[in-house]
């Protein structure tokens, strides 16, 4: 189809413009190339009773599931210092306790699960733990068992399931029951300022982080995975 337009320019001259349109037969390979790397955010895909809402970032070959959690199970060894109970991940003699650290409102925790379709099932290809500030910038917590990109060392567990929901549930269960050791630990001082507990009778209360700005105790993270987190 061809159309002709007459344009009156600001200087008073007239210009003729001829536009020719033709529909193109785009092959699937062309469409795939144009959409490669494009992902889509979907909110409130699942609701897990113990953890809350699950969001998804869907790509061509994988799905990234994001769970906004409000606590971190810390099954580790702890030490009492000046009346405050702090983790001693590298210790072999301190008491091992299954404590739960409750995150303050300014620390937004994102537990992330990546799944891929393989052999007629969904396979877990990684779990990450990010701490995010109010501008959604990502940080690595002062914890062991976390790689530089916040990938979690979860140990061996069943990584193939029938659905994405089962994959997310299995990953969170492994996260809940796994023990923390000194692998990949960077600095115990930061950890002990971040994760603090007050013994009270038979319970333990999470104490405030011992820093005016909690991000100073963490490392900034900017990765492809972090860019796909949905909060």
Bridge-partner residues for 31, per DSSP? none
Burial class (CB in 10 A: 0-12, 13-18, 19+), 79: middle
pLDDT score at 188: 92
Band (pLDDT 50/70/90 cuts) for residue 69 is: very high
Residue 75 token pair? 């099954």
Q: Does residue 176 register a pLDDT over 90?
A: yes
Band (pLDDT 50/70/90 cuts) for residue 34 is: low
SS (H, E, C) 205-220: EECCCCCCCHHHHCEE
Mean pLDDT of the residues in the chain = 92
Of 216, 229, 78, residue with least CA distance to 142: 216
pLDDT score at 226: 96
Sole residue written with tokens 């929901």? 165
pTM: 0.84
Q: Does residue 116 register a pLDDT over 90?
A: yes
Q: What is the mean pLDDT of residues 193-205?
A: 93
The answer to whether 174 and 166 have CB atoms below 8 angstroms apart is no
pLDDT score at 4: 86
Q: Does residue 151 register a pLDDT over 90?
A: yes
Q: What is the mean pLDDT of residues 65-69?
A: 97
The answer to whether 168 and 112 have CB atoms below 8 angstroms apart is no
Burial class (CB in 10 A: 0-12, 13-18, 19+), 94: middle
pLDDT score at 202: 82
pLDDT score at 146: 97
pLDDT score at 200: 86
Return the higher-pLDDT residue of 11 and 113.
Answer: 113
pLDDT score at 18: 87
Asked which of 1-5, 56-60, 202-206 is least confident by mean pLDDT, the reply is 1-5
């Amino acid at each position: 189809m061809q159309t002709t337009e007459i344009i009156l320019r600001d200087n008073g001259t007239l210009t003729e413009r001829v536009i020719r349109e033709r529909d193109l037969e785009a092959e699937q390979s062309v469409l795939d190339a144009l959409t490669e790397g494009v992902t889509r955010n979907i909110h409130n895909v699942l609701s897990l009773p113990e953890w809350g809402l699950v969001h998804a970032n869907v790509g061509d070959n994988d799905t990234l599931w994001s769970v906004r959690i409000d606590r971190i199970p810390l099954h580790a060894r702890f030490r009492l210092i000046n009346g405050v109970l702090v983790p001693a991940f590298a210790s072999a003699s301190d008491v091992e306790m299954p404590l739960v650290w409750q995150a303050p409102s300014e620390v937004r925790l994102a537990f992330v699960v990546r799944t891929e379709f393989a052999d007629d099932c969904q396979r877990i290809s990684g779990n990450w733990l990010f701490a995010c500030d109010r501008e959604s910038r990502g940080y690595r917590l002062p914890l062991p068992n976390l790689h530089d990109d916040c990938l979690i060392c979860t140990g061996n567990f069943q990584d193939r399931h029938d659905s994405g929901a089962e994959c997310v549930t299995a990953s969170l269960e492994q996260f809940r029951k796994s023990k923390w050791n000194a692998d990949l630990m960077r600095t115990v001082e930061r950890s002990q300022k971040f994760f603090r507990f007050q013994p009270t009778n038979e319970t333990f209360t999470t104490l405030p982080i011992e820093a005016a700005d909690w991000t100073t105790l963490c490392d900034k993270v900017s990765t492809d995975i972090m860019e796909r987190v949905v909060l």
